[in-house]
Amino acid sequence: MWSYDTKTMVDEVKYQVLASYEDVEVRRYPKVLLASVDGEDANDAFGILFRYISGKNESSDKIAMTAPVITDEPRGKTITMTAPVIRQERRMSFVMPSKLSLKDVPRPLDDAVRIDEIPERVLAVTRFRGYARDKDVKERTSYLLGVATKQGLKVIGEPFNMFYNSPWTPGFMRRNEVAVEIEWTSPK
């Protein structure tokens, strides 16, 4: 069964919960398309991507926002919007709506934007509330990796963060997650 949190005002990437350990869920995510910008600071990258989904593309199509916002850099400030952003070491990506395929996603007019297809993958994920300050992200990342080690989950790649709410959402209502890709074999 595929699930998602229905409390946000934008679509979310659906996922399947495979297992739970303490405050960590093991989730299978489907293939997703990402519009990405490399090498820009967070605000500039966000602006470039926001213009892309607002119609700065060959077909002038507006593209719906999709949650979550994802980053693997420590954050001192909140990113100026909400979903669908993925941020990884000088890379920011917006998740494209699931109805779009690589063949029919609008082609960007800005050469800084590229479209990537991420295959289905399994992530270990832990959730927390608040403003996702650097200290909070580091603590949750350490917690996630500790649970993964304790449960014998083989980590693949680097942890990253996922953010689901707009900047005007009060901290106590914000949904944040730290995730890491894992190699998954069902428990016996």
pLDDT in tens, 19-65: 999 999 999 999 999 888 887 887 788 889 889 999 999 999 999 88
Residue 188 placed within a domain: no
User: Which of 118, 143, 167 lies at the terminal end of a domain, its last residue?
Assistant: 118
Give this prediction's pTM: 0.80
Cβ-contact 172, 129 below 8 angstroms:
yes
Q: Please tell me whether residues 174 and 96 are part of one structural domain.
A: no
Cα gap 92→53, rounded to integer Å? 14
Of 187, 188, 150, nearest to 18 by C-alpha is 187
The residues pairing with 124 across neighbouring beta strands, listed in sequence order, are 26, 180
Both 42 and 94 in one domain: the answer is yes
Domain that holds residue 61: 32-118
Predicted confidence (pLDDT) per residue in 157-179, tens digit: 888 888 788 777 898 999 999 99
Predicted confidence (pLDDT) per residue in 61-85, tens digit: 999 888 776 665 534 333 444 454 5
Q: Is residue 91 part of a domain?
A: yes
Task: Supply the CATH number for residue 128's domain.
Answer: 3.30.200
Helix (H, G, I), strand (E, B) or coil at 113: strand
